[in-house]
């Protein structure tokens, strides 16, 4: 598990972060961008392989989640000054970064806009831009995601109503309830993965994410469908692209689209894996990130 801490920006805004207190001495910094809505305490599925690779995972809790001061109308690119401030706060000049799912665009922004400090990134099941040329954005998504993006595209009132209803089901969700709650988004491989401790941890992330309301989730969704504020084709630092063929949250085609347009991509498109099961292979990816520092 991990410790929840916070720091203040120069303008007085608060930023939450979770930090692994069990990392080895001299570990390199890995800034982790959580999914949507999957802020919350870090789990051993990330921490154990990161420690083995000599990395300390620090999760940046995006504005609107937890006690992180909301930034209405934020773009994907707006996370980058927060990443720089967090690295400064922790005393690191250079670092590597990882983004999972909704964190994928945010880790790509970090790579694109902070190349002098970010040595490389890992994008795990990251969503592609909504205006991606040649991509049928919703094709292959589970029913819940199609409904959520449909609400985001319909406008703020529709999205607020959709997420308010969804939030009510997540405020007190428990591990045994997660599979049923996310049924339309889970292929068999993810259902098999999301049991026991993994299910309990995911439930804890969901509870943390909505404990203060819908606004972190809301602002993420709006940012996904608007221009991101940077060009993925302009990224110059190494990028590992990880995507499972059976993913119903972020379909395989999103990973393919990004992989084809990232000039520095090392591509891991895994047959038979889902959105959550991919984490079981992450150790090799962390080792490659550590080699960049």
Query: Residue 113: which residues within 8 A CB-CB, separation 6 or more?
Result: 77, 80, 230
3-state SS assignment for residue 63: coil
3-state SS assignment for residue 262: coil
pLDDT digits (tens, 9 = 90+) for 163-209: 999 999 899 999 999 999 999 999 999 999 999 999 999 999 999 99
107 token code pair: 């880790």
**239 pLDDT band (50/70/90 cuts)?**
very high
Q: Which residue has the tokens 């084709």?
A: 233
**272 pLDDT band (50/70/90 cuts)?**
very high
What angle, 0 to 180 degrees and rounded to 10, lies between the N-to-C axes of helices 156-168 and 215-225? 140
Nearest-angstrom CA–CA distance, 291 and 238: 11
pLDDT digits (tens, 9 = 90+) for 104-125: 999 999 999 999 999 999 999 9
Residue 292: the pLDDT is 98
**268 pLDDT band (50/70/90 cuts)?**
confident
| Domains of the chain with bracketed CATH | 3-290 (3.40.50.1820)
Residue 281: the pLDDT is 87
pLDDT digits (tens, 9 = 90+) for 132-174: 999 999 999 999 999 999 999 999 999 999 999 999 989 999 9
Q: What integer best gives the mean pLDDT of the chain?
A: 96
29 token code pair: 């910094």
H or E element at residue 27? none
Nearest-angstrom CA–CA distance, 57 and 279: 14
């Amino acid at each position: 598990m991990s410790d929840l801490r916070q720091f203040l920006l120069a303008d007085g805004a608060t930023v939450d972060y979770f930090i692994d207190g069990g990392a080895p001495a001299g570990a390199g910094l890995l800034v982790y961008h959580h999914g949507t809505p999957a802020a919350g305490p870090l789990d051993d599925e990330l921490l154990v392989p990161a420690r083995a690779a000599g990395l300390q995972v620090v999760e940046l809790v995006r504005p609107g989640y937890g006690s992180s001061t909301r930034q209405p109308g934020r773009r994907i690119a707006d996370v980058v000054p927060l990443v720089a401030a967090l690295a400064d706060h922790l005393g690191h000049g250079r670092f590597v970064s990882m983004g999972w799912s909704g964190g994928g665009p945010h880790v790509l922004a970090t790579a694109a806009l902070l190349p002098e400090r970010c040595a490389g990134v890992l994008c795990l099941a990251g969503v592609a831009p909504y205006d991606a040329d040649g991509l049928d954005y919703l094709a292959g998504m589970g029913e819940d995601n199609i409904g959520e993006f449909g609400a985001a595209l319909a406008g703020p009132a529709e999205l607020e109503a959709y997420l308010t209803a969804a939030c009510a089901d997540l405020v007190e969700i428990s591990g045994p309830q997660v599979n049923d709650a996310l049924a339309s988004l889970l292929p068999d491989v993810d259902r098999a993965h999301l049991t026991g401790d993994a299910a309990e941890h995911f439930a804890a992330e969901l509870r943390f994410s909505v404990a203060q309301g819908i606004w972190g989730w809301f602002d993420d969704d709006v940012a996904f469908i608007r221009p991101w504020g940077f060009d993925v084709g302009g990224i110059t630092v190494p990028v590992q692209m990880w995507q499972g063929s059976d993913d119903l949250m972020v379909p395989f085609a999103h990973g393919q689209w990004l992989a084809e347009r990232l000039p520095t991509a090392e591509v891991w498109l895994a047959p038979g894996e889902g959105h959550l099961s991919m984490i079981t292979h992450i150790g090799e990816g962390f080792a490659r990130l550590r080699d960049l520092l």
